[in-house]
Structure 1
Amino acid sequence: MRPENGGGTKHTALPSRFLNLPNDFEFAGWGTQTNVQLTNEDRRAGAHALDETRSKAILGQFTASALAGNAVLGSVFYALPAVVAVSSVYSPISLFAATLVLFLWRPVMEELGSALPISGAPYTYILNVSTKSFALVGAALMLLDFASTAVVSAATAASYLAGEVTLPFPTFVGALLVLIIFTLISLSGIKEGARIALTVLSFHIGTMVILMFCAILHWGRSGMGQFEENWHVGRVSSPSGVARQLFNGFCLGMLGLTGFECTPSYVGRIKKGQLPLVLRNLHIPAIILNSLIMILVLAVVPLETILSGANVLSILAERAAGRWLRIWVVVDAIIVLCGGVLTGILSACELLEQLSYHRVLPDIFLRGLPKTKAPYVSMILFLAFSCVLYASAGADLVVISQMFSLVWLTVMSLFPMTLLLLKFNRGRIKRDSHTPLFIIILALIISAIVFAGNIAVEPATFGYFAAYFLGIVILFSITQNRIYLLRWIYWIYDQYPRLHVASPTRSWGDRLIALMVHLKRQPVCIFIKTDEINNLFQNVLYVSKNEDTSCVKLIHFLDEELGIPSELEANARILDEAFPEITIDLARLVVKGSFEPTNVIALAHHLHMPPSLMFMTCPGPHFPYAVAEFGTRIIAL
């Protein structure tokens, strides 16, 4: 029987799957129905948190471009050698074609960014348009992408340094030292600000402009001799051979665009309407830089030297202008690539922080050092993962670069896939642009073709990619479904009655039960507007499938004039019985005003829970507020 005031334990006549425990173990308590009043302190906390959220959107088109621009335009240092190795003298054509492909992705990213201006994409995008399990697949790919960014940047920086000075240790040791040094820098609390990134990017662009200018002058003085010699040595006679080299270079040419996927990860900090300009600022220079420098390399440097694995751009600088420009280019390479290492570390920490807020990872990942507040657990574990990734590839930069290309392609394919889900599952949401369906499908087809092409170039790299990707997905699946796994462990324990012997201290069974109760204690909130039981049921079913919790609070913003919907209380009671493992509370929120960000954040303060554990239905096209301001998750149409 349901107690009049709620509480107590739900019972059932069905037998329990556990032999030595009563049914009480599997069933939660009865829900309650209450009115909630927000205090002045709650309102002040909500207004303050909302002001902080709005104040974060301060990046204009140039500062926002700089954050990802160092990765996009810095990739020229490791993309060119990889492309030349498979495309030879046809590399400029392959690189040019690869950079043009981003014209398909720009409208996709623009629509997603305007519909869901939430940082942490594509993980946060998928979390709002699909299931949490699919979002964790995106998170696994992002973590692998950040680790590959850090490792490739560190290894390339060490390679450029080793090309100029004699290191007292192997190059791979230098790469590991770069990873360790920048992890220590991150632990000190120093973060890569937008202005610092803009300064570094400006220095890099200036260096590349001077390099190209000097190379063009040298080419004009020396003539076409070197280019013709390289063409004679590297060209292929058969049309099929040419087509194959062009295609292989096109596939690996995507390395020259790595970093482009980072832009949506901080879209919440970009001023409204600036995202299209940011994507343009990253794309156009990438087209010019990759294609033109590749032509100049073939016009100035012998093909044999290019294929030898030497620092191609530093050799180009020395042949074009002398030793001084070579040193300049090497310094630029080290600065830009080390910035990429720092970006990978900090981006990974932000992702792990989001996963902790969504209860995929334990709260230990949110712990910071006393003085710097740096998340030391995340940074140390990311460093260890990056070192293992580098060591397992035999410290081979080519292997890591090719795997990086696979990871990047898979991450980029998530954007058109997510947009398809958004159009189907969240079609009502307001956005500034609408991408034609054929562009989305074409982007997915090209992703699949280029992914297969990269595997064909070097099948072994797919093994590295698959092993690490599956390993991370399995780890996230375990942490996401830890209560389900604990129930299996308890069931195995329960099959042996001898283990259930009373003792002065708690038995293993008692500890398992206490741990499961603790993990399920954190409630989640669902904001509801109507009393339609089919919608209420779908919302609670989403929570049951995607969240490890035994407490759900249905929150209705009560309109004092219209009153509460007539069937809401009755339907809440029905749902409370339909989900015996969940306590479903109905809270009628009495507020002056409507469903708006300030009241939602104030309620989160009142209930002592993060907005990330509050869920809502998809707002319509005339909804006056930005979704990002709520900090909640969209779980239904």
Structure 2
Amino acid sequence: MHTESKSTKLNELQAMAICGNDISSSCLYVSALTILYAGQFAWISLLVVAGVLFLFQRIYGEVVGALPLNGGAYNALLNTTSKQMASVAACLTILSYMATAVISANEAMHYLHNLIPMLPLSIATIALLAIFMGLALYGIGESAIVAVVIFITHLAALSLLVIVGSFYLLTHGIEVFQANWQLPVASGGIMTALFLGFSAAMLGISGFESSANFVEEQAAGVFRKTLRNMWMVVSFFNPAITLLALCIIPLAQVGAHKESLLAFLGETAGGRWLGLIISVDAVLVLSGAVLTSFVGVTGLIERITLDRILPNFFLVRNKRGVNYRIVIGFFILCVSVLFATQGDLGALAGVYTFSFLAVMALFGLGNLLLKIKRAKLPRPVKAHPMAVLIAVVCVSAAFWGNALLNPSSLFVFFQYLVPSLGFIFLMLNRGRILRILLYSIDYLYRPVRHYVLQSSLYLRKMLHKINSQEFVFFTKGDDVAVLNTVLQYVQNNEKTGRLKIVTVMNPGQAFNEPLRHDLEVLDRAYPEVKIEYLELVGTFGPELIEEYSKKWDIPKNFMFIGSPGDRFPYRLSELGGVRLII
């Protein structure tokens, strides 16, 4: 999502607030959930989760530092694997955002319903989604202001809860915690309890992936700070509040108050006034998580649309520079899911759980592939390969643990995922599908030739429009093996029959005759791709890319380069969306 002025970037507090409302709202449900599975050891499970999140700081920092573009896991896999694999990550991320928006809005209205009993839940949920749709349509700058207010209020409420809870312990002692600690562990032993608690507690870091989906809207250096700040918030508040709950509330009472454990904790430790503050804060911060979903999904869908996975229909902007069709479409999707589930969102929680964990695992995989395939690409930080493997294994274990805890939710997850992947498959292969439709029309409708010819002409125009898009590869004089890899990538991933091979030469530099000869060989080897070789005099950089993007009318994200070395004077983000394919 872009504002009207592209020079305006989000500062640290604004960016942190947008993604922080999502991840910091986790304590409202993850404390009770972890206690139900890990009992008195819940706070230890949450500390382990904090350790895993610490590893993901560098994992995300390395990938996004090397490829500072919107898209998160999709962007990481797009530049290291194929468009098909990257599309799977995009699907999972969109599902995660959809489930987050619907569940957060519905849970916020449940908290408000406790304060205003006559509130109609379904209508209020739709109204809340509509409010944040309107805010998203107004622009990310205005959205950030609201997010900052919500975030600061939430941190103040949590801090107040910790302070009052700590004072309660000083005056009442820790007899409750001692009694809870002496209770027998559920069947399976301590290790099983810790594992199941860890699996449930991993939901407490949902939202960590959001910052990577709107990194282009953040000022320089802000992204890594958002990762650090999110880790600090989760590492302190989630274990601290859970430990306070175990010190103040008997384990037997947790299940009865699992929907609003923090409000009950506040009421027990400080009185009705604190419980009311926590309930109001829950409404606000869960609403902020809805805003995070709108901002994150807009940045992601814009990116995959630019890469021709979705139709250009979604790229139209309003006067404030917002992709309003993406925002409105996401709102419609959320409302349709709310009606389809008839307000019973228990099953949708499984979609949220498994899609989020899968996205985290795929991002770790993208980091490993970046190390292997893009080793020379400059990056501000590097995650140790063993740390990446440990993080991926931990997330995979959490996925398995949640599948053991909620096997029916895993089935629902696949019910949502398979149709989504099917739609993406259709979009990626729409060229082939159009050819099949052409053949079918010619075969089945010969008796009505007139109508067939009209339909055929229309489809051929669509196919021609797709295949006529020209692509560019800037080469430094690569050998025939490298250029052959480029042709294979274009054939496998892009629907085009035209490719410019361009080399940028210094003034007075001799023509590259061996390269001309290699291209003549490749031209015969790939008759379906029209190869045009050009030699330009100048200096390769953002200005040259901008000049020839306009001159040739070729978008920058349809221009490719090989991986630049350490001496390359520009960051990838300065090239305006030029993609790496080698």
- Flag whether TM exceeds 0.5 (same fold): yes
Counterpart CA distance in 2 for 1:96 and 1:589 is 57
2:28 corresponds to which residue?
Answer: 77
Structure 2: runs of 5+ lacking an equivalent:
none
Counterpart CA distance in 2 for 1:228 and 1:168 is 41
1:262 corresponds to which residue?
Answer: 210
Counterpart CA distance in 2 for 1:350 and 1:326 is 37
The 5 A counterparts of 1:16-165 are 55=7, 58-165=9-116
**In the superposition, relative to structure 1, how do residues 194 and 177 fare at CA in structure 2: closer, same or farther (>3 Å)?**
closer
> Given residue 335 of structure 1, which amino acid in structure 2 is its aligned partner?
L
- Displacement after TM superposition at 1:434 (Å): 3.0
2:558 corresponds to which residue?
Answer: 613
Quick one: which of 202, 214, 237 aligns to 2:152?
Answer: 202
Counterpart CA distance in 2 for 1:237 and 1:515 is 62
- What are the superposed Cα offsets for residues 476-515 of structure 1, whole Å, 9 maximum, x if unpaired? 1211211111112223334447257356x94322222122
**Does the CA-based 8 Å contact 1:89-1:298 persist in structure 2?**
yes
SS of 1:557's equivalent in the other structure is strand
1:312 corresponds to which residue?
Answer: 261
Structure 1: runs of 5+ lacking an equivalent:
1-51
Quick one: which of 522, 536, 555 aligns to 2:469?
Answer: 522
SS of 1:163's equivalent in the other structure is helix
The 5 A counterparts of 1:104-503 are 104-169=55-120, 171-189=121-139, 192-231=142-181, 235-236=184-185, 240-308=188-256, 309-369=258-318, 371-391=319-339, 395-496=343-444, 498=446, 501-502=449-450
**Does the CA-based 8 Å contact 1:615-1:635 persist in structure 2?**
yes
**Does the CA-based 8 Å contact 1:99-1:254 persist in structure 2?**
no
Counterpart CA distance in 2 for 1:421 and 1:321 is 51
> Given residue 131 of structure 1, which amino acid in structure 2 is its aligned partner?
S
**Does the CA-based 8 Å contact 2:477-2:512 persist in structure 1?**
yes
**In the superposition, relative to structure 1, how do residues 99 and 343 fare at CA in structure 2: closer, same or farther (>3 Å)?**
same
> Given residue 116 of structure 1, which amino acid in structure 2 is its aligned partner?
L
- Displacement after TM superposition at 1:206 (Å): 1.2
TM-score normalised by the chain length of structure 1: 0.84
**Does the CA-based 8 Å contact 1:203-1:332 persist in structure 2?**
yes
SS of 1:236's equivalent in the other structure is coil
**In the superposition, relative to structure 1, how do residues 299 and 164 fare at CA in structure 2: closer, same or farther (>3 Å)?**
farther
Counterpart CA distance in 2 for 1:78 and 1:459 is 20
Query: Comparing both structures, which one devotes a greater share of its residues to helix?
Result: 2
- What are the superposed Cα offsets for residues 323-363 of structure 1, whole Å, 9 maximum, x if unpaired? 32222222222221111101201221221111221111111
- What are the superposed Cα offsets for residues 223-247 of structure 1, whole Å, 9 maximum, x if unpaired? 3344345556x64265x23332221
SS of 1:526's equivalent in the other structure is strand
2:571 corresponds to which residue?
Answer: 626
Query: Which has the higher Rg, Structure 1 or Structure 2?
Result: 1
> Given residue 86 of structure 1, which amino acid in structure 2 is its aligned partner?
Y
SS of 1:525's equivalent in the other structure is strand
**Does the CA-based 8 Å contact 2:140-2:295 persist in structure 1?**
no
Counterpart CA distance in 2 for 1:236 and 1:194 is 45
**In the superposition, relative to structure 1, how do residues 361 and 237 fare at CA in structure 2: closer, same or farther (>3 Å)?**
closer
- Displacement after TM superposition at 1:254 (Å): 0.9
The 5 A counterparts of 1:548-559 are 548-559=495-506
**In the superposition, relative to structure 1, how do residues 467 and 314 fare at CA in structure 2: closer, same or farther (>3 Å)?**
same
Counterpart CA distance in 2 for 1:397 and 1:303 is 26
> Given residue 115 of structure 1, which amino acid in structure 2 is its aligned partner?
A
- Displacement after TM superposition at 1:316 (Å): 1.7
1:15 corresponds to which residue?
Answer: none
- Displacement after TM superposition at 1:149 (Å): 1.8
- Displacement after TM superposition at 1:282 (Å): 1.4
Larger displacement relative to structure 2 (339-348 or 485-494):
485-494
SS of 1:166's equivalent in the other structure is coil
- Displacement after TM superposition at 1:279 (Å): 2.0
1:563 corresponds to which residue?
Answer: 510
SS of 1:101's equivalent in the other structure is helix
Larger displacement relative to structure 2 (459-468 or 323-332):
323-332
The alignment of Structure 1 onto Structure 2 pairs a total of residues equal to: 578
**Does the CA-based 8 Å contact 2:214-2:295 persist in structure 1?**
no
- What are the superposed Cα offsets for residues 378-431 of structure 1, whole Å, 9 maximum, x if unpaired? 223222322344455563454433432222211111222111111111111122
**Does the CA-based 8 Å contact 1:500-1:509 persist in structure 2?**
no
**Does the CA-based 8 Å contact 1:531-1:566 persist in structure 2?**
no
2:460 corresponds to which residue?
Answer: 513
- What are the superposed Cα offsets for residues 1-28 of structure 1, whole Å, 9 maximum, x if unpaired? xxxxxxxxxxxxxxxxxxxxxxxxxxxx
> Given residue 32 of structure 2, which amino acid in structure 1 is its aligned partner?
P
Counterpart CA distance in 1 for 2:274 and 2:211 is 31
- Larger RCO: 1 or 2 (CA < 8 Å, sep 6+): 1
Root-mean-square deviation (Å): 2.6
> Given residue 509 of structure 2, which amino acid in structure 1 is its aligned partner?
L
Counterpart CA distance in 2 for 1:635 and 1:310 is 47
Counterpart CA distance in 2 for 1:539 and 1:452 is 38
Counterpart CA distance in 1 for 2:490 and 2:504 is 20
TM-score normalised by the chain length of structure 2: 0.92
Quick one: which of 511, 527, 547 aligns to 1:602?
Answer: 547
- What are the superposed Cα offsets for residues 573-615 of structure 1, whole Å, 9 maximum, x if unpaired? 4333332332222233333xx1111211222122223211111
Counterpart CA distance in 2 for 1:173 and 1:241 is 45
- Displacement after TM superposition at 1:60 (Å): 4.9
Counterpart CA distance in 1 for 2:33 and 2:342 is 17
